[in-house]
Chain A
Amino acid sequence: MPVYYYIFLAVALFSIGVIGVLIRRNMIIIFMCVELMLNAANLLLVAFSKMHQQVLGDIKPTAASDAQVFVFFIMVVAAAEVTVGLAIIVMLYRNTHSVDVNFLNRLKN
């Protein structure tokens, strides 16, 4: 499978995530779109790792493993981000009784 199929799939997923962040007003949906963008980047990293292994695999059987370790660390950081982000959303919901992202301007004072 040529790598450009994976590039286009990942770019399409990333763009859908960008559109979701731009047009939705529900904070939880915006957060989920950020997760979608992270996953698009993960998919592309794995595809490039396997692309390099196709070239280098005969010389070094474990070539390009670094990309997959990076994907693991991206998942770790995403999990930490989700815990703090959802705590902020719950706190904001308790104060404003809404998940509308425009109410975040009440944090001004």
Chain B
Amino acid sequence: MNVIEILFWFLSVMALGGAVMVVSSKSPVHSILYLILTFFAISGHYILMNAQFLAIVNIIVYAGAIMVLFLFVVMLMNLNADSEPHQKNKWILYIGGIAGGSLLLIIVAALKQTAAATQLVQMNSGNTGLIKNLGMLLFTDYVFPFEISSILFLSAMIGAVIISKKEA
């Protein structure tokens, strides 16, 4: 068991534990903090696969900007464990758990036997994920979607302002 495998298992346990705590914690602030932990674990996976650009973007955009936005909204509304709407119908809990568990079970059972599943993933080497190559690709082949995404951001910005305006 070399250091990459140890790091893989550590980050996997961290991501899954964080994800379970997101769903099960009572306080929304704790959920957000556990989701940040999960995102850091996923960024660690990206670094392990030498996808450095995505690791940094994941930390800056997700763990930085988006989760701070969530935290800001939760603190604006002053939500805590007491104001949490609890699930009155216990059956929903069981049905949701069974449905999600069945999804996991079926996908794992379907993919366990495929031949392609045993192929190796290139760890800690290769230059696909470096910012030089992705930047070249982003400004040559994908320059049109890149510009379209700026229009998407503009419309999202205008939409957010219009929605949150009082008595629009």
Chain A residues in the interface with B (C-beta under 8 A):
1-9, 11-20, 22-26, 28-29, 31-33, 35-36, 39, 42-43, 46-47, 49-51, 53-55, 57, 61-66, 68-69, 71-73, 75-84, 86-91, 93-94, 98-102
14 intermolecular pairs with C-beta atoms under 8 Å apart? A1-B5, A2-B119, A3-B121, A16-B16, A28-B70, A31-B70, A43-B45, A50-B50, A53-B128, A54-B120, A62-B133, A69-B137, A87-B163, A90-B77
The dominant DSSP class at the B interface is helix
Give the distance in Å from the alpha carbon of A82 to the alpha carbon of B153 in the complex. 11
Known: A69-B137, A83-B160. A1 touches B120 (CB 8 A): yes
Closest A residue to B72 by beta carbon equals: A86
Chain B residues with Cβ below 8 Å from A14 are 103
Q: Once the chains are docked, how many angstroms separate the CA of A65 from the CA of B23? A: 33
CA distance A1 to B50 in the complex (A): 13
**A-B contacts at CB below 8 angstroms, number:** 247
Q: Which residues of B contact A4 (CB under 8 A)?
A: 111-112, 117-118
A103 CB → nearest B CB, Å = 9
- In the complex, the answer to whether A65 meets B134 with C-beta atoms within 8 Å is yes
With A11-B104, A69-B134, A79-B65 known to touch, is A23 a contact of B96 (CB < 8 Å)?
yes
Is residue B108 contacting chain A, with contact meaning CB distance below 8 A? Answer: yes
With A28-B73, A76-B149 known to touch, is A17 a contact of B62 (CB < 8 Å)?
Answer: no
* B49 and A47 contact, CB distance less than 8 A: yes
B122's partner among A39, A43, A57, A76 (CB-CB below 8 A) is A57
